[in-house]
A and B are shown apart, each in its own frame.
Chain A
Amino acid sequence: MSKAAPADRLSPALRTEALEQLLVERELVDPAVMDKFIKTYEQDVGPLNGAKVVARAWTDPGYRAWLLRDGTAAIKDMGYGGPQGEHMVVLEQSDEVHHVVVCTLCSCYPWPVLGLPPSWYKDPAYRAGMVRTPRRVLREMGLEVPEGKRIEVWDSSAEVRYLVLPQRPPATEDLDAEALAALVTRDAMVGVAEVAAP
């Protein structure tokens, strides 16, 4: 921070407080509305939403087909929509191809199904490395993709948000959608992990 302009030396906490005061005084921001947004994304919306979408796709072939054809509508059918989820595209993992999602420019992320992004997703090393050397970055994150399997890296654009539909783990035929949803992790829905068998 040493070479920043003097104003930038003020801590971000202070600048944020100042900005909020000014906007509230001018009645541009209603603190109650703002608190509600924060609470929603801090506490209520998270990867469980996406996990339920995945579990339904695993147990309902018709829903799976719809999800892959029109992700936005199929996800909205589960009640999940709103900012950063207007144009959802769902990528299905297979034995031939492994999908992984990144946002190289600014960390776009499908909030309605995954909540807000984890720190590693926002990290410059992930954003740059996943495009250049995806196999290596995935290995560093603990996922070994077999040499014969193709890796496709999807860079979120201004319009599109991606959700990865992981492969259903073996020996889960007896599990219902609720039990399956509990197995699905956020990382699997970004494409940096697989769903492990229970």
Chain B
Amino acid sequence: MSATSCPPGPVLEIEGVAAPPRANGELVFAEPWESRAFGMAVTLAEAGLFTWDEFRDSLVARIAAWEADHASGEEYRYYRCWLAALEDRVVAAGLLHDAAVAERSARLAERPAGHDHPDDHGHGHGHGHGH
């Protein structure tokens, strides 16, 4: 990972006929939560809270574990492995204790249907609700 907090500017220039990255006709993320999980890993690594190599090791382990053992017929989902690796790294780095995510998730799950972000922090961007 580079030390800068964001990629260099010239990368962002959009020009020409083949506007990226959908030039090949495919969305980068299948669901919104995937982009949040992606963004968190990159942000934490760029901030130096863990290294990219450490994250990659966790990702390799999670993918290998899925390939070694999963329910028959279960579809492989790369960003599920990514999310699990991210949780592994966050706990290993001591950023959160290992039950924190499950506890918060369970609390979020109890929200009534059609909830309107009672716990939102006012940062006003889309979360990856899949429900």
Residues of A within 8 A of B (CB): 1-3, 7, 10-26, 28-38, 40-49, 51-52, 78-83, 86, 105-108, 112, 115-116, 118-119, 122-124, 158, 178, 181-182, 185-187
Contacts and interface: CB of A to CB of B under 8 A. Distances in A.
A165 B97 CA distance: 46
Given A20-B36, A40-B11, 11 more contacts: A3-B71, A12-B37, A13-B128, A15-B101, A21-B119, A46-B19, A46-B20, A48-B21, A116-B28, A116-B29, A123-B76
Contacts of B113: none
B49 interface: yes
A22 B127 CA distance: 13
A21 B104 contact: yes
Contacts of B121: 21, 24-25, 31
A53 B107 CA distance: 49
A28 B49 contact: yes
Contacts of B104: 18-19, 21-22
A47 B24 contact: yes
Contact of B42 (A10, A11, A44, A83): A83
B66 to A, nearest CB: 9
A177 B46 CA distance: 34
A83 B129 contact: no
Interface in B98-131: 99-102, 104-109, 119, 121, 123, 125, 127-131
Contacts of A26: 95-96
A12 B79 contact: yes
A42 B105 CA distance: 26
Contact of B11 (A28, A80, A187): A80
A19 B11 contact: no
B101 A37 contact: no
A83 B52 contact: yes
Contacts, number: 236
B90 A115 contact: no
Nearest to A114: B21
B78 A122 contact: yes
Nearest to B80: A12
B118 to A, nearest CB: 12
A28 B37 CA distance: 14
B60 A124 contact: no
Interface in B53-77: 53, 56, 59-60, 63-64, 67, 71, 74, 76-77
A43 B83 contact: no
A191 to B, nearest CB: 14
Nearest to B102: A7
A73 B106 CA distance: 48
B43 A37 contact: yes
Contacts of B56: 106, 108, 158
